[in-house]
């Protein structure tokens, strides 16, 4: 592994460090940005080169992160918490900006390293999943009064399922890879559920769902857990924070964490929906965010899981038909396998929908929501 930063001296100068780090270690958990941990002895910092091919509005992205982080810090301080551990802290460069553009044009940013904490890469038990739900629920509740419309939409229509469906239909019509004939059954499955795609967007237009600050990547590994207590302490990776619906975050968590199989599992018999994990997450999320949610937000929690799985499935399948131009693949049918797991999960969620709705009602009753 190459732990070196080719422009280390330039970065140290740009951020006002007089001494060189004791060590530089590359962090390989993420797949988009290049991340390094710099240990200066008493303190550690993260330095990260942002992938501007993926994030094409980096300045607006960083303004979003700074606005959210500053807002959270004030709330955490007010209740006597530790903002250096409970939220991200952006380190400004000497110019005062929350980023640095190198002489060669690379976009860099730095954060204080959260020590004494770790991430968990995969969901292995209901307790960890519930703890992550509490963290994302707290994130939602603390930002309930943040002006979401002031955030830049750094990836337009990210969870606009109507727009995603239009993209999918275009992919099928264009058939750039000539693969559309390989997935006619999957295509029919998606198109049969076209009415589902507009349910939440219609509620937004009617003013029946509030615009929220949404994380948009609510996987377990975007929560930091305390090394000693095991408690979830901080939500990280705010690159996709944008205005949206709380239901997008909840639904995507369930899509990812309540499935019994990997996203690219070839054996669809292994793809099932876990009510145990759904209940654990719903309990954690509603216990922390419930007081800030509206009736409709709680009502549509089960449906949001189905919608996010459907959206993800159509994105994978559309990319397969387009010739694998967006998602990285390890073999020719990779995106097709991914799409099939998501669509199987949609079928599973449909079967469990009455149980999911009953579970949410029971949890709400127990919490007095």
Q: What is the pLDDT of residue 2?
A: 60
Handedness of CA 215, 193, 358, 345 (dihedral sign): negative
Q: How far apart are CA 285 and CA 253, in angstroms?
A: 10
Is the per-residue pLDDT at 1 higher than 60? no
The phi, psi pair for 85, rounded to 5°, reads: -110, -20
Q: What is the pLDDT of residue 178?
A: 97
Q: How far apart are CA 201 and CA 158, in angstroms?
A: 12
Q: What is the pLDDT of residue 27?
A: 86
> Which tens digit of pLDDT belongs to each residue from 322-352?
999 988 899 999 999 999 999 999 999 999 9
> Which tens digit of pLDDT belongs to each residue from 224-236?
999 999 999 999 9
> How would residue 6 be classed by pLDDT, with cut points 50, 70 and 90?
confident
Q: What is the pLDDT of residue 327?
A: 86
Is the per-residue pLDDT at 122 higher than 70? yes
Is the per-residue pLDDT at 97 higher than 70? yes
Does pTM surpass 0.85?
yes
Average pLDDT over residues 246-263: 96
Q: Which domains does the chain have, with CATH numbers?
A: 8-115 (3.30.200.20), 126-367 (3.90.1200.10)
H or E element at residue 358: helix 334-367
Q: What is the pLDDT of residue 330?
A: 93
Q: What is the pLDDT of residue 264?
A: 94
Q: What is the pLDDT of residue 301?
A: 98
Mean pLDDT, the chain, rounded, equals 94
> How would residue 292 be classed by pLDDT, with cut points 50, 70 and 90?
very high
Q: What is the pLDDT of residue 113?
A: 94
- Residue (of 139, 94, 96, 89) closest to 113 by Cα position: 89
Average pLDDT over residues 237-261: 95
Q: How far is CA 279 from CA 212, 308, 328, in A?
A: 23, 17, 32
Which residues, at least 6 apart from 67, have a Cβ–Cβ distance to it below 8 Å?
Answer: 146, 150, 151
- Contact between 87 and 71 (Cβ < 8 Å): no
> Which tens digit of pLDDT belongs to each residue from 35-73?
999 999 889 999 999 999 888 999 999 999 999 999 999
> Which tens digit of pLDDT belongs to each residue from 124-179?
899 999 999 999 999 999 999 999 999 999 888 889 999 999 999 999 999 999 99
Q: What is the pLDDT of residue 342?
A: 98
Q: What percent of the chain has pLDDT over 90?
A: 89
To which residue do tokens 């029971």 refer? Answer: 362
What is the number of alpha carbons within 13 Å of residue 232 lying toward its C-beta?
A: 23
Q: What percent of the chain has pLDDT over 70?
A: 99
């Amino acid at each position: 592994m190459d732990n070196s930063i080719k422009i280390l001296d330039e970065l140290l100068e740009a951020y006002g460090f007089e001494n060189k780090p004791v060590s530089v270690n590359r962090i390989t958990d993420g797949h988009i940005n290049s991340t390094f941990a710099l240990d200066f002895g008493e303190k550690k910092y993260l330095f990260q080169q942002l992938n501007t091919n993926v994030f094409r509005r980096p300045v607006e992205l960083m303004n979003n992160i700074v606005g959210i982080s500053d807002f959270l810090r004030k709330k955490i301080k007010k209740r006597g918490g530790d903002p250096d551990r409970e939220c991200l802290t952006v380190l400004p460069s000497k110019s005062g900006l929350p980023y640095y553009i190198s002489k060669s044009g690379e976009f860099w940013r730095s954060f204080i390293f959260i020590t004494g904490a770790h991430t968990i890469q995969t969901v292995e038990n209901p307790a960890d999943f519930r703890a992550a739900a509490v963290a994302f629920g707290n994130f939602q509740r603390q930002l309930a009064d943040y002006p979401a419309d002031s955030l830049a939409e750094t990836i337009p229509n990210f969870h606009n399922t109507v727009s995603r469906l239009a993209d999918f239909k275009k992919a099928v019509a264009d058939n750039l890879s000539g693969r559309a004939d390989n997935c006619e059954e999957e295509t029919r499955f998606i198109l049969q559920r076209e009415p589902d795609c507009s349910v939440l967007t219609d509620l937004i237009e009617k003013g029946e769902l509030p615009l929220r600050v949404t994380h948009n990547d609510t996987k377990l590994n975007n929560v930091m857990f305390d090394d000693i207590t095991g408690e979830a302490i901080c939500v990280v990776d705010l690159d996709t924070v944008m205005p949206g619906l709380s239901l997008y975050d909840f639904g995507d968590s369930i899509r990812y964490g309540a499935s019994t199989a990997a996203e690219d599992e070839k054996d669809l018999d292994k793809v099932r929906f876990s009510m145990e994990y759904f209940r654990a997450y719903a309990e954690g999320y509603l216990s922390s965010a419930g007081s800030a949610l509206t009736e409709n937000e709680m009502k549509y929690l089960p449906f949001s899981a189905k919608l996010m799985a459907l959206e993800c499935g159509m994105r994978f399948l559309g990319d397969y038909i387009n010739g694998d131009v967006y998602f990285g693949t390890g073999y020719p049918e990779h995106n097709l396998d991914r799409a099939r797991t998501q669509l199987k999960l949609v079928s599973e969620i449909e079967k469990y929908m009455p149980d999911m709705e009953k579970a949410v009602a029971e949890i709400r009753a127990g919490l007095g929501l």
